[in-house]
Each structure stands twice: as structure tokens, then as C-alpha cells.
Structure 1
Amino acid sequence: MEIRSLENTTTEELLSVFNTSFSDYIVPFHLSLEQLELKITADKIDKHLSVGVFESGKPVAFMLHAEKEEGGKRIVYNAGTGVIKEFRGQGLVRKMYEQIIPVFQDRKVDVMTLEVIEGNDPAIRAYENLGFKIVRKLLCFNGIINHKEKHPEILIKEIEPFQWEVIRSFWDIEPSWQSSIPVLDGILQDCTLLGAFKDDQLVGYAIYNPAVRKIYQIAVDKNYRNQGIGTQLFRAIGEMTDGQAISVNNVDDTSENTAAFLGNTIGLKNWVSQFEMKRELE
């Protein structure tokens, strides 16, 4: 058994171990090659910073990592960890971290972060034993958007890439990895950027990826809330989806108004929740 970087592992090999590892997961799922390629691009996964366990030359466990700099810190994100059933119980997650953490330290990484599904107690305990701590709970929503009446005084239209400083003032919470500014900057060309205007002023926006039907960010100016602006943004996205389900992932559960809005007004379902965990590196 050998532990090494995934830099020379093909995406096809990675797909095989990925799908086998997650086939009996707490929330089983299966990716196509195209979906995995999209994930690698969207999450900014770097195979040089990712690691796997190999048996007879074939991967039987993996840990995918991405890196960004934000707020003066270098952050590494665990974008997925899996171990094939037959190789569990051998401490492979710990061994992969033992292999890769010195690499992170050489790169002056400040923080490691990951997400783990609520209810996956063995994984949570394993990460806690590795020094990770739960920092917040994130809610994941999906479903078909309830179409609402159109408000003619609110204009929704596509906009050009904006200055992040302008729309950050709309935020109540910091987005998680997949919806953070450094990550989105790399995929904005694949997204539809919608602006909500009232009296010619930008009062809300949404970033929507039609290829995966995912809303990465949506926010309304604090001075214009409860005026139907968020509803109109979802209405516009709903028209684009042709009745297909969309997802809004990793909503901070401290934003109770957002969760209630997505569930009660828009008609989405909180189908799963995750914990965001972090570990500081010295």
C-alpha cells in the first residue's frame, strides 16, 4: 500500500474510486466524468495538493484539496475524501493527512477547512481527533421554484461582472468555499449574473450556474429587504430553469430569515445539512 500525490492520477481513475467510495455514503451519490470535471474546475481542485492511497497501483482512497488566499490567509479546502469500503478501519484518512500536512506547512498554509454531513458521526469524530473544530452549520436546499407574481417596479436583468466591494455590503454572512469570491472568480464566465434594480439602483443580485442549476450567491441590499426583490430574482431564475429543480447550498443556519424565505416563500427543501470544520496550521 502506497500513499502519494494524485498529480499523475487520471480523472477516469479518480472517478472510479470516487463513485465506489460514495456508493454507500450517508447520502449516496454518483458522478459522471463530466460532473467530476466540473467539480474539479468549480472547486479549484489541485491534484498536486491532493493525495491518495494506492493498492497494486490502483487508488483505494483519496483526499481532494483546493487552495486560495483570502483575508490575508492561505486556506486549503478538503473538497472530498473517500475510502473504498474494503479498506476502511485502517486509519487511511489520518495517514493521508500525515502525508499532506507537511506539504501544506511548506506552502505556509494557515487554515484547513472542510464540510461534513450532519449525522456522519464517525467522520466528525475522526476529523475532531485530527484537530478540526466545528465552526458553523450549513443548510443545503433544492427543489422547484414557486413562480410568483411579477413586480413591474423591480427590473431583473443580466449584468456584467461587478466590483465585489459593491455587493459585499449586501451580505449578512460570509459564503462557504464553493461560493467564495476567489473560487467564483474562476467560473463567473460560466454563470449568469442577474441584477435587481429599483429606481435604476442595484438593490440585489444573484449568481446562477445554468449548467449545474446551482445558485452560488443571492443577496439583497439591507435597505430594500421585504420588498419582493429576492422573490423576483428567484422568479427570473425559475423562468430560466423550465421547471427543473435548482439548488442553493451551504446557507449559514444563523441566517434564519434566509432559511425561512427559501423554504416558505420559494418552496425549496432543506434536504441535508453540513458542518463546516476548520483547523489552524502552525
Structure 2
Amino acid sequence: MSLLRQTFLDAFADYVVPIQLSETQFQTKLKREGIAPEFCVAAYVGDEMAGFILTGLGEWEGKPTAYNAGTGVKPMYRGHRLTEQLYAFLLPKLRESGVEQCLLEVIQDNKPALKSYERTGMRITRSLDCFRSPKQEILFSTDMPDDITLSLASRPDWKVYDTFKDVAPTWQNNSAAIKRSGSECVTLEAVNSFEEVVGVISFFPKLGTVAQLAVDARWRDIGVGSALLREAVQRTEASALLFINIDHTAKEFITFLERRHFKVILRQYEMLMAIV
């Protein structure tokens, strides 16, 4: 595992957005994104790992899916279409195992990677925005309504939470990813005086990453979302909060983030490919 993580760090050190993960953060990523070691592939030059694809397995839109949780190629081995070669090796194994499609996200400005995935057969399905704000800069304009209380979700009801969302979350933010993360991800509920859940937030206190924040449409614009966000800030150890891969069409939610001083730090494409 140390070799894989080191290759990951080497491959992403000069990336459009440099990625440096501690061993703990790397393990959290593997767990959250459902990595299946038997479907992770790598290219070697002698004993040196030159590149890899981390593969997560699960269900996406009702179909068995392989999720690309990271493709990395060390700088000195780029330009040889390693990504395409790795997929050529991986795809038959996925088909034999009943996987029906492949999913990934790619930074919009990373043109070489985008072209490589398109040559493999991937097609863009939607645009995604990533937001960040230092905790001390997040603005809270309203107080929590008097008839709303916040508490840890003892028995999360993901079917109810899903009714609050205007758009579907991405792979690493959906309910399956949150469940896989166990105690590393905290879920809080907003409950009204009739003991109805009207809002939810799921976040990683150590990382500062918010996987989901959603409020029942009937209870918006009265401070429920802000109250959940404020509580997450107070419980988060990291210095900033991040919302990764928010569907660009979620205009109401994006406006909510912008009004609280979150700024776009990255834009990505979600891409999908049928393999059957």
C-alpha cells in the first residue's frame, strides 16, 4: 500500500491541483470510494510503478459500475497513452465480472486526460463545481428557527434524505459512500416540532469535506441549511470546509454556497461509458 500511495503522490504532485494525502486520508479515500483491490491495475517499468487506476465497485443508476477513483501516471512516463493501455487491460476483467459501465470525474482544464478518456470511450454526462471556504470566512445570515433542533442521526433514513435533493450526488458523495465511511463521516439531522426530519448534513470532521447538505423544499429559506452548516463548522477539525463535485445545474444550492462566501476552486466533468 505504501508503494501505491507514493506513486499516487508522485503522479499528482504537479497536477492542475496538486493532491497530497496523508496515509490516513488515503485510507479514508479508499474506503469512501469503495476501492476493490482486485480491480485496481498498474503499469510497471521493472520494479517501479509507472501508473495506475484505482477502481471502486458499486451501483450507479441501477447498474453494476466501476468507478475510477484516480488515474495517476508519473511525469516521466506520460505521453505513452498508459491510461488507454491500462483500460484496455482492465475492461475485459470488468465485463467478465458483470460490470456494465465505467464512471469517473476529470478536471475540465486537464485537456490531455479528457482526450485520453474520450479515446477510451468515455462521454461527458454533467459538469461539476468544487467549492471551498475557510471556516472563519463562512457567513451565517440567519439564526436557526425556534422550532428546529439538530441532533446526530442515530438511524439515518437515506430514502427520506434523497427526497430533499434537487440533483443526484456524485459517487463519492452518495449514501453508499457515506455508509462505507462509517464513523469517519458524521450525519446530523434537522428536526421540526412534529419530529419530522427536514434537513440533513453529512461531513468528514477531520477532512472538512461535506458530502451532503440538503433541506426539504418546504423548509428552505428560514435558516435550516445555515444551522446545519454552522454545526458542521463547529464540529470540524480542518481549517476549511469543502463541497466537492456539486452538479452545475443545482443553481439554488450553488447560490446558497456563494452567499456564505464559498468560492469555486475547481470545475470537473463527470464521464460515463457503457461496456456491455
Q: TM-score range by the shorter chain?
A: over 0.9
2 CA distance for matches of 1:244 and 1:211?
9
The correspondence for 2:190, drawn from 196, 220, 227, is 196
2 CA distance for matches of 1:70 and 1:78?
13
Find the counterpart in structure 1 of residue 112 from structure 2: 122
The correspondence for 1:55, drawn from 39, 45, 51, is 45
2 CA distance for matches of 1:271 and 1:110?
32
What is the DSSP-based 3-state SS (H/G/I as helix, E as strand, rest coil) of the residue aligned with 2:180? Answer: coil
Find the counterpart in structure 1 of residue 169 from structure 2: 175
Alpha-carbon displacement from aligned partner over 1:114-152 (angstroms, at most 9, x marks no partner) = 000111111111111111111101111111232444323
Find the counterpart in structure 1 of residue 223 from structure 2: 228
After TM superposition, the structure 1 = structure 2 runs for residues 148-163 of structure 1, keeping only pairs within 5 Å, are 148-151=141-144, 152-163=146-157
Alpha-carbon displacement from aligned partner over 1:224-250 (angstroms, at most 9, x marks no partner) = 111211111111112223782111111
Find the counterpart in structure 2 of residue 208 from structure 1: 203
Deviation (angstroms), 1:101: 0.3
Alpha-carbon displacement from aligned partner over 1:40-88 (angstroms, at most 9, x marks no partner) = 1111111210100111112011110000024431011000001111111
2 CA distance for matches of 1:32 and 1:235?
27
1 CA distance for matches of 2:233 and 2:40?
37
Find the counterpart in structure 2 of residue 27 from structure 1: 17
RMSD across aligned positions (CA): 1.5
Q: Is the 8 A contact 1:140 1:248 kept in 2?
A: yes
Q: Is the 8 A contact 1:46 1:65 kept in 2?
A: yes
What is the DSSP-based 3-state SS (H/G/I as helix, E as strand, rest coil) of the residue aligned with 1:212? Answer: coil
- The answer to whether the aligner puts 1:259 opposite 2:254 as a matched pair is yes
The correspondence for 1:146, drawn from 139, 150, 158, is 139
Deviates further, 144-153 or 187-196: 144-153
Q: Is the 8 A contact 2:64 2:99 kept in 1?
A: yes
Find the counterpart in structure 2 of residue 137 from structure 1: 127
Find the counterpart in structure 2 of residue 186 from structure 1: 180
Alpha-carbon displacement from aligned partner over 1:75-122 (angstroms, at most 9, x marks no partner) = 110000011111111111111001000000001111101000111111
Q: Is the 8 A contact 1:148 1:232 kept in 2?
A: no
Deviation (angstroms), 1:197: 1.8
Deviation (angstroms), 1:198: 2.1
Find the counterpart in structure 2 of residue 105 from structure 1: 95
2 CA distance for matches of 1:158 and 1:148?
24
Find the counterpart in structure 1 of residue 268 from structure 2: 274
- The answer to whether the aligner puts 1:40 opposite 2:37 as a matched pair is no
2 CA distance for matches of 1:272 and 1:217?
18
What letter corresponds to residue 139 of structure 2 in structure 1?
N
The correspondence for 1:217, drawn from 202, 208, 212, is 212
What letter corresponds to residue 214 of structure 1 in structure 2?
T
The correspondence for 2:235, drawn from 240, 254, 264, is 240
What letter corresponds to residue 215 of structure 1 in structure 2?
V
What is the DSSP-based 3-state SS (H/G/I as helix, E as strand, rest coil) of the residue aligned with 1:185? Answer: helix
- Identify unmatched segments of 5+ residues in structure 2: none
Q: Please report the TM-score for the alignment, with normalisation by the length of structure 2.
A: 0.93
What letter corresponds to residue 63 of structure 2 in structure 1?
K
